[in-house]
Structure 1
């Protein structure tokens, strides 16, 4: 029989949290929490998850908002709330895509996804997954046979995912093209820079 009492058992979550706290700065923890926050919540909630004080969390959240990583909005009783900015998420996903695909591959994949979207529209006779969801709901209420009787929630989710992936891939291609033009411009400026003294 064990001699341990309940109070002597180690709290695994607390132990892991203490390790995380010891190995990271408050800024890093706040950034980690807000990176996974997609609905607006108060600084106090973020502070609790980030193992820091609300005052410290607000300071770092302001910095993250200034950087464009977080966005703010007015919550209940005028309290500021915070969430991950959509722009930072798009850039993060686009950069990740660029690490695994060339621009030629992106162009090919974009064409394939556009064809898939057109197939969805042609097959179900609607222009978006949201319209498809409405169609499905109407069918359920009508309880009648129709040309779209096989519409299910999985199809709606797949269509939404495809549309989202197309948006991220388009963003990745845009960033790749922008970087190429910037690199070309910088190279031109470097080539031209020795002659700038002529205008001084």
Structure 2
């Protein structure tokens, strides 16, 4: 057996295990959950190891529940995860894991980290830093990535805090 055949066997085993342990709906859900740019029902079917009609039916159900969204590419419907739903899910998860004080502490830490990036690079944004970097500046590029991640996490934490405050106002 060649190394390539061994990998084919491993991949086939993983596919078989996935189909044995999940339903077609679960596989379509997992594929759509990782689809950001949109994919046709045929592409999703291939990735989820289901028929195209099955993929289309489950994708439509996911759109109806708000988990997925659609785009059109000519006559082809493209399915992808709904980014608003992803954001709401992240906010909900954060609210479940952290109380108000923990959110406030995390927000303060992230703001401090962002100010440290601004001071260290004498720039106001990771995009500005990226324009100044050469391709070989790996440390600078790592800071761009980390800065963007921190900024995104800060926005989610602030949204979670605002959601909590709005929920309190509605219940009082």
Q: Which runs of 5+ in 2 are unaligned?
A: none
Equivalent of 2:144, from 133, 143, 156? 156
Equivalent of 1:110, from 102, 107, 112? 107
Aligned length: 166
- In the TM superposition, what whole-angstrom CA distance separates every residue of 1:74-97 from its partner, at most 9, and x where no partner exists? 22x431212222112212222222
Quick one: distance in 2 between partners of 1:47 and 1:170?
A: 38
Establish whether residue 171 from structure 1 lines up as the match of residue 159 from structure 2. Answer: yes
Quick one: distance in 1 between partners of 2:33 and 2:46?
A: 15
Equivalent of 2:44, from 40, 43, 46? 46
Q: Is the 8 A contact 1:136 1:151 kept in 2?
A: no
In the TM superposition, what is the alpha-carbon distance from 1:42 to its structure 2 partner? Answer: 1.7
In the TM superposition, what is the alpha-carbon distance from 1:66 to its structure 2 partner? Answer: 2.3
- Indicate the SS of the match to 1:83: strand
Q: Is the 8 A contact 2:117 2:143 kept in 1?
A: no
- Indicate the SS of the match to 2:133: helix
Establish whether residue 120 from structure 1 lines up as the match of residue 108 from structure 2. Answer: no
Q: Show the counterpart of 2:94.
A: 97
In the TM superposition, what is the alpha-carbon distance from 1:30 to its structure 2 partner? Answer: 0.8
Quick check: which has more Rg, 1 or 2?
A: 1
The root-mean-square deviation of aligned C-alpha atoms, in Å, is 2.7
In the TM superposition, what is the alpha-carbon distance from 1:34 to its structure 2 partner? Answer: 1.0
Quick one: distance in 1 between partners of 2:49 and 2:169?
A: 43
- In the TM superposition, what whole-angstrom CA distance separates every residue of 1:63-122 from its partner, at most 9, and x where no partner exists? 2122221121122x4312122221122122222222321111101211221232233234
Q: Which runs of 5+ in 1 are unaligned?
A: 141-148, 186-200
Q: TM-score, normalised by structure 2?
A: 0.81
- Indicate the SS of the match to 1:81: strand
In the TM superposition, what is the alpha-carbon distance from 1:11 to its structure 2 partner? Answer: 3.0
Q: TM-score, normalised by structure 1?
A: 0.71
Larger mean CA deviation between 58-67 and 17-26 belongs to 17-26
